[in-house]
């Protein structure tokens, strides 16, 4: 039921001789350049009046998608659904993977903690700690799975919107990592964590975000068919991602309803007993 405009796949350039930054950070120039291309594309899509869906890829793509969105909607708020905080800095990361660091580049409060990486000179922080849902040290509101168990997903979402939109209506950027779900539901992903969201909790999150009427952009990341142990695992993970996106835009769990202005009535009289016996 949605009108869809496909901006197509983006082409990214792998920078040759993309050396480690600080002997640790992987592919900084390639990721920085790709993120810039993505930021431009998301900005164009939002400027054209679309709700922008970005399908990844790993979660480093939020560097580009959130930056591009913020060019058009500087007062946006971000809801980050993920098994991980993704707020390491290049100086605290242990893996060197930029997909564990995007939020540190986007937050204004962390700019004195983030070195200037090659390929990132274009990127300007566009979020404040109060604009996003995560962590402790910078008073960023977050909910763990323990909080979901304790409060229930309804109360978690109520508190999310109270924090993010209590004072004013604002565009929402949803950045959703499929590994937020329990691995039994989404096995084909890179960094699964036991005890994640149930299907019902995940759908409730996106249903409630849709119901605000303020959803402006969605990232769906970390679906990786190469990591499924079987085709069934790949299909299950991909189907779950489709449901997340579709529910963001109005798919419901109430069933598929056929609309009737008036219930139909039988157009012919009932069969006689003899006719029914003959038919049987």
- pLDDT tens figures, 85-102: 999 999 999 999 999 999
Please give the pLDDT value at position 278: 65
Which is the catalytic residue, given 58, 69, 86, 201?
86
Is 179 annotated as ligand-binding? yes
Confidence of residue 280 (pLDDT cuts 50, 70, 90): low
Task: Look up 99 and say whether it is catalytic.
Answer: yes
Write down the pTM of the prediction. 0.90
Is 112 annotated as ligand-binding? no
Q: Residue 214: is its pLDDT beyond 60?
A: yes
The CATH code that applies to domain 28-249 is 3.40.800.10
**Residues near 202 by beta carbon (within 8 Å), at least 6 away in sequence:** 81, 180, 181, 240, 244
Q: How far apart are CA 55 and CA 59, in angstroms?
A: 10
The dihedral over CA atoms of 150, 103, 191, 145, expressed in degrees to the nearest 10, equals: 0
Task: Look up 222 and say whether it is catalytic.
Answer: yes
Which is the catalytic residue, given 58, 131, 219, 222?
222
- 71 and 237 in contact (C-beta within 8 Å)? no
Q: How far apart are CA 111 and CA 130, in angstroms?
A: 15
Please give the pLDDT value at position 80: 96
Sign of CA dihedral 12, 94, 142, 70: negative
Which is the catalytic residue, given 40, 50, 84, 109?
84
Which is the catalytic residue, given 177, 182, 219, 233?
177
Task: Look up 270 and say whether it is catalytic.
Answer: no
Is 50 annotated as ligand-binding? no
Which is the catalytic residue, given 58, 131, 179, 182?
179
Q: Residue 279: is its pLDDT beyond 90?
A: no
Please give the pLDDT value at position 230: 98
Q: How far apart are CA 263 and CA 247, in angstroms?
A: 29
Q: Residue 27: is its pLDDT beyond 80?
A: yes
Task: Look up 254 and say whether it is catalytic.
Answer: no
Please give the pLDDT value at position 136: 56
- Per-residue pLDDT tens for 67-79? 999 999 999 999 9
Please give the pLDDT value at position 168: 82
Is 182 annotated as ligand-binding? no
- Per-residue pLDDT tens for 134-171? 545 567 888 999 999 999 999 999 999 998 988 789 99
Supply the angle between the helices 62-72 and 28-47 in degrees, to the nearest 10: 30
Residue 175, strand partner residues: 80, 219
Q: Find the helix or strand (DSSP H, E) in which 242 lies.
A: helix 231-248
Please give the pLDDT value at position 264: 85
**Residues near 270 by beta carbon (within 8 Å), at least 6 away in sequence:** none
Which range, of 84-98, 104-118, 120-134, 259-273, averages the lowest pLDDT? 259-273
Task: Look up 86 and say whether it is catalytic.
Answer: yes
Q: Residue 14: is its pLDDT beyond 60?
A: yes
Q: Find the helix or strand (DSSP H, E) in which 215 lies.
A: strand 215-221
Please give the pLDDT value at position 87: 93
Higher pLDDT, 148 or 267: 148
Is 177 annotated as ligand-binding? yes
Task: Look up 262 and say whether it is catalytic.
Answer: no
CA 35 to chain centre: 16
Burial class (CB in 10 A: 0-12, 13-18, 19+), 102: buried
Mean pLDDT, the chain, rounded, equals 92
Q: What are the extents of the domains in the chain?
A: 28-249
Please give the pLDDT value at position 276: 64
Q: Residue 268: is its pLDDT beyond 90?
A: no
Q: How far apart are CA 112 and CA 8, in angstroms?
A: 36
Helices (H), 115-198: 145-151, 153-165
% residues pLDDT > 70 (the chain): 92
Which is the catalytic residue, given 58, 69, 82, 182?
82
Is 82 annotated as ligand-binding? yes
Q: Which two tokens stand for residue 120?
A: 């990132």
Which is the catalytic residue, given 59, 69, 173, 210?
59
Please give the pLDDT value at position 201: 97
């Amino acid at each position: 039921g949605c009108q869809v405009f496909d901006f197509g796949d983006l082409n990214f350039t792998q920078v040759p001789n993309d050396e480690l930054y600080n002997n640790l950070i992987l592919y900084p120039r390639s990721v920085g350049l790709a993120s810039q291309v993505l930021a431009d594309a998301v900005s164009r899509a939002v400027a054209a009046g679309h709700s922008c869906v970005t399908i990844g890829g790993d979660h480093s793509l939020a560097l580009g998608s959130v930056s591009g969105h913020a060019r058009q909607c500087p007062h946006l708020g971000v809801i980050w659904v993920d098994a991980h905080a993704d707020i390491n800095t290049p100086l605290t990361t242990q893996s060197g993977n930029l997909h564990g660091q995007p939020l540190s580049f986007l937050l204004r409060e962390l700019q004195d903690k983030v070195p200037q990486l090659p390929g990132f000179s274009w990127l300007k922080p566009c979020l404040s700690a109060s604009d996003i849902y995560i962590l402790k040290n910078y008073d960023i509101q977050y909910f763990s799975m323990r909080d979901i168990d304790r409060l229930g997903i309804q109360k978690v979402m109520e508190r999310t919107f109270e924090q993010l939109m209590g004072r004013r209506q604002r565009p929402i950027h949803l950045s959703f990592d499929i590994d937020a779900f329990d691995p039994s539901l989404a096995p084909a992903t890179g960094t699964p964590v036991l005890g994640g969201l149930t299907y019902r909790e995940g759908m409730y999150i996106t249903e409630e975000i849709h119901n605000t009427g303020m959803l402006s952009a969605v990232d769906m990341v970390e679906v990786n068919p190469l990591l499924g142990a079987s085709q069934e695992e790949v299909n299950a993970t991909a189907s779950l991602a489709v449901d997340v996106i579709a529910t963001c835009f109005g798919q419901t769990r109430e069933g598929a309803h056929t609309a009737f202005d008036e219930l139909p009535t039988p157009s012919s009289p009932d069969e006689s007993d003899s006719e029914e016996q003959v038919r049987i």
